[in-house]
Chains A and B, each alone.
Chain A
Amino acid sequence: MSLSSQGNSVTARFARWALACAVRHWPEENRAWGLALAAEVDETSSASETVRWSLGGIMFFTRSVVSSAWKWMKLPAGSSLSEGADGPDAHSLLPKRSRVFTGAVLAVAALLLALPEGREAIRTVWSSWEGYQESGSDQRMLDELTARAEKEKDASTLAFVALSTIDRAHAAALTERAVALDPQFIWVYGARNHGQRMDPPRAEWLARLEAADPGNAVPELLAADALVQPRLSAFLMHGGNNAQARQLLASDATWMALMEHAYAAPRYDSYLQRHIQLARTIWNREKNLPPTTVLYGIWQHAFPNLLTLRIYCDIRIQQARTAREAGDTKRAESLLEGLDTFGMTMADANGSELEKLVGFAIARNANKEMAKLYQEPGKTEDARRVAARLDQIDERVQEMRLALNPSRNARAEAFRKEAELVQGFGTLAAIAGFATLAAILLLELLPGGIQGTKSFWRRVACWVVDYGPATLLVACGAFLVSFLPFQSAFQEYRSSSFRLGDEQVLTDAMGSLLTIPEYVVGVDASVELWSFVTIALSALLLFVLVRGFYRTRRVVANPA
């Protein structure tokens, strides 16, 4: 039975059609063999035989395509198999390395970056250029976390996302949900920064927080801030000074009452420690979470307004001074002792360095005023006690300043140097990667435009294709190696037992990465760039003028 008798079978027709398609796309150099195989299909004696023959043809086609692709890969970028019989055209410039070599080097570089360490490095460095704002991928990751936490009724993750997301409405809903699931997360009410121009913290949240955490000054301080923040911001924005602000706030009886109550509270806890602990617990559980997301929430932690804390202290000192001048020493003493106690409570609490410094400043100002009070004869013992207290405060402040001074902080300095390497190698890798891809595309997609020539751009493209991949590979390796200290800082932070100071390592590491992007996109770099452009253009203008002048003189001297 030949084709005529079985050719109408649907299967056979489909098999012949598939074979015909394969022949149309057969690699040029051995298409004749595809035609030879296809010509025999008409000799098959049954539909199954036709199918088997065609399947064999498809296999042969696949093999030919792979073999042809491999041959193509062994040629340099920009060359084609049609010129392969006698080697690439000797007149056209081509890279020295084959596509296989270029592809292999690029693949190894891509593999390095695709490793978990590489992805973490890219994510971290990339977000340093975005100013640690929540990127689209970070938001997706937070959304996934939320969905899972909702499903598992996991209050801690919901609280973490509420503190880490930028979306305020979403954060409010998540806070409510987390507190409803587990009331111990009520502190989240007072830990999310609502900011100067954002929505103030909800009054009912602060009332609930006050009720749940009696004796803590922070909920009342936050309530006092919410009361005057919009007025105070507008006042300062329109040029009001601190003395006028003091008058403004002193005239607000409600604010004064809230501040008085807060200053009399036995504890000061701005919930920073709990916030950091929560962030680390979640980070340990979700190791893929970018450090930027973890730090964003911590860096946005809400603190009582440190300016109004200082203003209230100044108001009380002024009142103590007035009492002293009026001869009411007892009242002056009571007011100043209250300030000293609050200041030291704040300084000794597990808060941020800044809160501690403000606490010391309040206590020092109170003690300085107290020293004036004890200058009178017969108060020698009290004067000595106050002097000792002032010395103690100064000593502790000095210690903190030394620890906070970046130029004397070896760790921060080391991170800064390593950050320069990370940013430098990262930038080099990005430039080498983009340049290589652009050069390959130029040679492959526009062979007609520049082939056969030895133009400058073709030379550049060939050079980039030869050396770009190796540069990329080396830069990627160096990028990952220089990122190791940062990675180990993250790891150390995740695995260490909780101490507030541990967070400082992470802040130093991440802060150092920001230095270069801040410089590049900052004002200094813009000034330098435009200064350079102005000088370069001026030099060019001068060159053109001088050249024109000498040419004119030559023409005048030799008119012929």
Chain B
Amino acid sequence: MGVRIRLSKQTLTVLDALLTRPGQWQHGYSLSQSTSIPSGTLYPILMRLEKLRWLETRWEEAKTPGRPPRHLYRLSGTAREWARQELRAAQERHFWKPAPSEHQA
């Protein structure tokens, strides 16, 4: 992993959402729905994580003809443990806390 960056609250929320179903591919829209982060903020975060190689991406084949292929995201194997550590550290610093609905879920 190596490279460490300062994580914003929104990035931590995205990491938290990606960790809820680790290893499972998720769409951008569903991530936006689950985190309540608007598309204009979510995609730069995803792009940044992908550039740091913490995020794996792939294109999904279009299920309906005429619709464009959709992009899928999940945390890479090594990034998952690191993300958990970051979330824990952020919680201990009282910098970030998980959304209640997510916990209940």
A residues with CB within 8 A of B: 30, 32-33, 35-40, 42-44, 52-53, 55-60, 63
A53 partner residues in chain B, CB cutoff 8 A = 29, 32, 38-39
Closest to B72 in A: A36
Known interface pairs A32-B71, A53-B29, A56-B41; 10 further A-B residue pairs with C-beta atoms within 8 A, sorted by A's residue number: A37-B28, A37-B39, A40-B28, A40-B70, A40-B71, A43-B29, A44-B29, A53-B32, A56-B38, A57-B40
User: A57 and B70 in contact (CB under 8 A), knowing A36-B28, A40-B29, A63-B44?
Assistant: no
CB distance from A315 to the nearest CB of B (A): 94
Give Cα A53 to B38, complex, Å.
7
Q: Tell whether B77 is near chain A: CB-to-CB under 8 Å.
A: no
Q: Does B9 contact A (CB under 8 A)?
A: no
Main secondary structure of the interface of B (DSSP, over half): helix
Q: Known A40-B27, A40-B28, A43-B29; judge A55-B40 contact (CB<8 A).
A: yes
Query: Are A38's CB and B68's CB within 8 A?
Result: yes
Q: Report if B89 contacts A (CB, 8 A).
A: no
Chain A residues within an 8 Å CB radius of B28: 36-37, 40
Asked whether, in the complex, the Cβ of A33 is within 8 Å of the Cβ of B27, the reply is: no
Q: How far is the CA of A32 from the CA of B57 in the complex (A)?
A: 11
Task: Please report the C-alpha to C-alpha distance between residue A501 and residue B4 in the assembled complex, in whole angstroms.
Answer: 75
Q: How far is the CA of A33 from the CA of B68 in the complex (A)?
A: 13
B87 to chain A, nearest CB (A): 24
Q: Which residue of B lies closest to A57 (CB)?
A: B39
Q: Which residues of A lie under 8 Å from residue B71 when comparing CB positions?
A: 32, 35-36, 39-40
* A59-B70 in contact (CB<8A): no
Instruction: Please give the distance in Å from A3's CB to the nearest CB on chain B.
Output: 9
Please tell me if B47 contacts chain A, counting CB pairs below 8 Å: yes
> What's the least CB distance linking B102 to chain A, in Å?
20
The reply to whether A39 and B68 contact each other, CB–CB distance below 8 Å, is yes
Q: Which residue of B lies closest to A39 (CB)?
A: B68
Q: What is the bound-complex CA distance between A86 and B27, given in angstroms?
A: 32
- Chain B residues near A59 (CB, 8 Å)? 40
| Identity of the chain B residue whose Cβ is nearest the Cβ of A37 in the assembled complex | B43
Choice from A30, A33, A42 contacting B67 with Cβ under 8 Å: A42
A38 and chain B: residue at smallest CB distance: B68
When distances are taken between beta carbons in the complex, the residues of chain B under 8 Å from A40 are 27-29, 32, 39, 70-71
A213 to B44, CA, bound (A): 83
Work out how many contacts link A and B, with CB atoms closer than 8 A: 57
A43 B27 Cβ-Cβ under 8 A:
yes
Q: Which residues of B contact A39 (CB under 8 A)?
A: 67-71
**Within the assembled complex, what's the spacing in Å between the Cα atoms of A33 and B41?**
13
A44–B43 alpha-carbon span in the complex (Å): 16
**With contacts A43-B29, A56-B38, A57-B39 known, is A30 near B68, CB below 8 A?**
no
Min C-beta distance of B43 to chain A, whole Å: 5
A62 CB → nearest B CB, Å: 9
Which are the 3 A-B pairs with shortest beta-carbon distances?
A: A56-B39, A56-B40, A59-B40
A62 and chain B: residue at smallest CB distance: B40
Which residues of chain A are near B42, meaning CB under 8 Å? 56
Asked whether A60 lies within 8 Å of B67 as measured between CB atoms, the reply is: no
Q: Which residue of B lies closest to A53 (CB)?
A: B39
**Within residues 1 to 56 of chain B, which ones have a CB less than 8 A from any CB in chain A?**
27-29, 32, 38-44, 46-47
Residues of B within 8 A of A52 (CB): 38-39
Q: Are B44 and A60 in contact (CB-based, < 8 A)?
A: yes
Q: A453 → chain B, closest Cβ, in Å?
A: 35
A35 to B69, CA, bound (A): 9
State in angstroms the CA–CA spacing of A59 and B44 once bound together: 10
Contacts of A32 in B (CB 8 A): 71
* Closest A residue, CB atoms, query B47: A33
Q: How far is the CA of A38 from the CA of B29 in the complex (A)?
A: 10
B44: which A residues are within 8 A, CB to CB? Answer: 60, 63
The residues of A that contact B43 with a CB separation of less than 8 Å are 33, 36-37, 56-57, 60
Residues in B62-85 with C-beta less than 8 Å from chain A: 67-71
Q: Which residues of B contact A56 (CB under 8 A)?
A: 38-43
A310–B99 Cα gap in the complex (Å)?
103
- On chain A, the residues within 8 Å of B32 by CB distance are 40, 53
With the chains together, A32 CA to B41 CA distance in Å? 16
In the complex, 8 of the A-B residue pairs with CB atoms within 8 angstroms, ordered by the A residue number, are A33-B47, A39-B70, A40-B27, A44-B29, A53-B39, A57-B39, A59-B40, A63-B44
Q: How long is the Cα–Cα vector from A60 to B39 in the complex, in angstroms?
A: 8
Contacts of A43 in B (CB 8 A): 27, 29
Best-buried of A36, A53, A55 by chain B (most CB within 10 Å): A36
> For residue B69, which residues in chain A have a CB less than 8 angstroms away from its CB?
39
Q: Determine the distance from Cα of A39 to Cα of B67 in the docked complex, in whole angstroms.
A: 8
From B29, B38, B44, B46, residue with most partner A Cβ within 10 Å: B29
Q: Are A36 and B40 in contact (CB under 8 A)?
A: no
Nearest CB on B from A418, distance (A): 56
Q: Whose C-beta in chain B lies nearest to the C-beta of A44?
A: B29
* B-side contacts of A44, CB under 8 Å: 29
